[in-house]
Every structure is written in structure tokens, then in C-alpha cells.
Amino acid sequence: MAQVVLGVDGGGTKTTCVVLDEAGHELGRGTGGPANHHNVGLERTTLSVKEAIEGALAAAKLSLDAVGAICLGMAGADLPEDIALLEAMARRIAGVPHIRVCNDAVAALVGGIGQPLGVVVIAGTGSIAYGINARGEERRAGGWGYLLGDEGSAYHIGLSALRAVVRAYDGRTQATSLGEALCARLELERLEKLIELLYRTNYGVEEIAALAPVVTEAAHTGDQVARDILAQAGRELGLAATAVIHALGMEKDEFDVVLVGGVFQAGELLVEPLRQVIARLAPHASFIPPRHDPATGAALMARQVLWLA
């Protein structure tokens, strides 16, 4: 039997696994929960990855014996010790012949553009920009996590909304419909109940990130505070991308930029400010929709590992 490969995209909110055959055709797909071990711990990450792999193999009607290589593109795979920890996790879950672990941004770039060249901006629960130039040099910006960074992410947008509504409630800034919208989403009878919800319960990163669509909805109905939050998120993501572009010396190059992650469902209110920031530095950059998702990008990288073995 020809060997198949697995590609795993482990993000802050969910995990996806894809099975590709030797010709690159998708045979099955599975999903699991959050898989950033810095946020949810190694045990939860392991469970999420295992669930996604088992689901994909079940959909493909295959067992692990058929798998020749696996590549895991993981949020939080930043340092050598992270890579080693996640490689060991992968061996426990799936003792396949060849295993590669990389940051999820690498898989998103390869999947989104179709080759290891260009820039990807990822904005989901967290955010990061990553690029590879024609010389094969790599650079990233962002990805510092919710305490130090993640500007432009769903978490950052949700937190900005929460801060905006309490400031408006106090009269420190302009009025916004976000207070009523957030209370409705969170099933709070009044805004003061936010204190109890946020400080006295297990309300965390994922829950705050889940509030980002409320901001998008308010922005599209004309709320100026919500529109400003999205525009600022776009500019922050653009700054991360331009930091990568400048470090790689790509300012005058022609290259593709791909945007990956649920935050971009906000549309032009967020994307246009991002595009403007990049265009000022790199006028020849082209924005393209993702050709493949990050899980498929990871699977394509696993195919390369298998070929080089």
C-alpha cells in the first residue's frame, strides 16, 4: 500500500488534520479542540491533536500503519524546546516513521501560497506574520501571546471591545452600541456584571476571542467605536507584516501576501487598513486568497519530508 501523509494545524481554538495520498489528493479530514500548549497545557493539546488525527484517519478509512510522515504546524511552537516537546507528543500519539513539527505560520504560508515564498499574516485567536524570501531566509513578527502581543487577533479585538464599553459607560469616551451587544451575547442583565464574569469565573483567552464577531456586527451597522477597533486591528497586522518584509529585504520585490484566520471575516473594514500599511512599504506585493488551508500546507510539508527520507 502506498503511504499517505498527515498534516496537522494546531491553533488556539481548534485543531485540523488532513490526510493526503501520494498524488496530493485529500482522503479525509478530522478536527479537535485547542492546541496551543502555552494556553491550554500539553495534556489538552495532546487530546486535541489525537482527536483530529483519529477523525481524519477514520474519514479516510485508514489506520496509522498507512502513514509514512506527519507534519504538525502548531501555535506556540516557537522555541527549540517547544519543538522537542511537541515532537515527543507526536511520537506518543502516532509513532510514524517521519515526524516534523513547525510553527503554524510556516504551514499557513506553504498552504496559502502553495510554496515557501512570500508573506502570511495569521489572525485567529492569536496573531503572527511570517515570511520567506527568494533566498530562503525566514522572519516572523508577533506571536508573542495574549499577554505580550497578539495585536490584531480575535482576542485583541474582543478585549478592545470590553475596554471600550466600560470607558463609554464611565463617560470617558464616546458612546457605543457595543455595550448592549456584548451584554446580549454574554447574557448579562447589566454591564456591571462584567466584573463578576471576567474576574470571578474561568473566563479566558478563547472566550474573549469569541467576542470578536460582536465587534464586526456592530461595525457593519455603523458603530464608530467598533469600526475604529477593526481598523486599528488591521493596522497592527499590517505593521507585523511590514516588519517581516523589511527584515527580509523584500520592499522592492514582487511577492504574494496571504491572509489566514477567522479575523479576516470582518472584511474590508479590517483588511483595507492592513493593505494600506503594507502598500506604503512594499508596493509590488499582491494579496491573494489562500490556495489551501494550513492543515493542507502541513500535509504538503509532510510529503516533502517523505520524499527526502
In the CATH scheme, what is the code of domain 117-288?
3.30.420.40
Angstrom distance (rounded) from CA 194 to CA 261:
27
Render pLDDT for 201-255 as a digit per residue (tens, 0 to 9).
878 888 999 999 999 999 999 999 999 999 999 999 999 999 999 999 999 999 9
Could you check whether 4-114+293-308 and 117-288 share the same CATH topology?
yes
Mean pLDDT, residues 122-126: 89
E strand or H helix at 251: none
- DSSP conformational letter for 289: -
Whether residue 73 contacts residue 294, with contact meaning beta carbons closer than 8 Å, is answered with yes
Residues 146-198: tens digit of each pLDDT: 889 899 999 999 999 999 999 999 999 889 999 999 999 998 988 988 888 88
Instruction: Compute the Cα dihedral for 37, 84, 261, 243 and give only its sign.
Output: positive
**Count of other CB atoms within 10 angstroms of residue 278:** 21
Q: Give the C-alpha separation, 226 to 179, whole Å.
A: 11
Q: pLDDT-based confidence at 116, cuts 50/70/90? A: confident
pTM of structure: 0.82
Question: What are the residue boundaries of the structural domains of the chain, listed by start?
Answer: 4-114+293-308, 117-288
CATH code for 4-114+293-308? 3.30.420.40
